[in-house]
């Protein structure tokens, strides 16, 4: 593939990913600014899997990508465009779901697995389809970045490190929510954790 085409694809890829990352980081900053006061916490289970370590993972992902560790070389421009476009579509989708999830969650958001005194069980918006749209979207975004940059090392890190970490964090939250809300079991039965589950229409 000509160097000019490689540079054009790389430029578009980097700009799309940078825009999406900026949007999510801005939303995270807003979450911290609007989060409830400690006095409002009813139950909390602390974990290493929190905003700081998630940002750390994405910093490591960025290092793998920028240093081209585990990068594959596409054989043709058409293949490169198709695969990169698929990766970027996943990045954009993950970003949109992340932002919508934060908007729906509102003041229920917390850096640690937390249940507030005023906690509500959010089931609207993207929470109608996913129990953990924020974690799901970050997984999609990480996979999308790996695919867009043709980086198998980044993809392996996502599947072997980030995905299990997200499952661990989700399990902590679900234990608290099931304890707080009796209806959580029914909600869990009809929604996917990180990927939408088919919901049969009600008669």
Q: How confident is the model at residue 19, as a pLDDT?
A: 98
> What element of type H or E holds 116?
strand 113-116
CB 31 within 8 A of CB 103: no
Q: Is CATH 1.10.3720.10 what the domain over 3-190 is classified as, yes or no?
A: no
CA pair distance 138, 119, nearest whole angstrom:
23
CB 148 within 8 A of CB 156: no
- Is it the case that residue 202 has pLDDT exceeding 60? no
% of the chain exceeding 70 in pLDDT: 97
List, for residues 38-66, the tens digit of each pLDDT value. 778 999 999 999 999 999 999 999 999 99
- Give, as one character, the DSSP assignment of residue 40: G
Close Cβ partners of 30 (under 8 Å, ≥ 6 residues apart): 102
Torsion of CA 108, 114, 119, 122, to 10 degrees: 60
Cα distances (Å, whole numbers) of residue 117 to 33, 42, 102 = 19, 5, 19
- Where does the pLDDT of residue 9 fall: very low under 50, low under 70, confident under 90, or very high at 90 and above? confident
Residue 124: phi, psi to the nearest 5? -100, 170
Q: Which tokens go with 100? A: 């919508």
Q: How confident is the model at residue 203, as a pLDDT?
A: 38
**What's the whole-number mean pLDDT along residues 113-134?**
95
List, for residues 77-118, the tens digit of each pLDDT value. 888 899 999 999 999 999 999 999 999 999 899 999 999 999
- Is it the case that residue 200 has pLDDT exceeding 70? no
Q: Comparing C-alpha atoms, which of 148, 152, 109 is closest to residue 127? A: 109
Whole-structure pTM value: 0.94
Higher pLDDT, 126 or 35: 126
Q: How confident is the model at residue 32, as a pLDDT?
A: 93
- Give, as one character, the DSSP assignment of residue 43: E
Domain boundaries defined on the chain: 3-190
**What's the whole-number mean pLDDT along residues 173-187?**
96
Q: How confident is the model at residue 201, as a pLDDT?
A: 46
CA pair distance 169, 47, nearest whole angstrom:
7
């Amino acid at each position: 593939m000509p160097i000019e085409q490689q540079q054009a694809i790389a430029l578009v890829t980097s700009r799309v990913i940078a825009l999406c990352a900026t949007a999510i980081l801005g939303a995270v900053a807003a979450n911290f600014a609007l989060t409830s006061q400690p006095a409002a916490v009813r139950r909390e289970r602390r974990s290493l899997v929190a905003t700081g370590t998630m940002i750390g993972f994405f910093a490591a992902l960025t290092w793998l990508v920028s240093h081209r560790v585990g990068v594959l070389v596409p054989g043709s421009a058409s293949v490169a465009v198709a695969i990169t476009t698929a990766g970027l579509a996943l990045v954009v989708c993950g970003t949109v779901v992340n932002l919508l999830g934060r908007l729906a969650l509102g003041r229920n958001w917390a850096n640690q697995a937390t249940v507030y005194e005023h906690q509500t069980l959010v089931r609207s918006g993207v929470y109608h389809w996913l129990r953990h749209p924020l974690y799901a979207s970050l997984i999609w975004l990480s996979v999308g970045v790996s695919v867009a940059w043709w980086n198998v090392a980044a993809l392996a890190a996502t599947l072997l490190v980030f995905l299990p970490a997200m499952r661990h964090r989700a399990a902590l939250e679900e234990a608290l929510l099931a304890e707080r809300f009796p209806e959580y079991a029914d909600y869990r039965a009809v929604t996917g954790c990180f990927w939408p589950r088919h919901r049969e229409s009600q008669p």
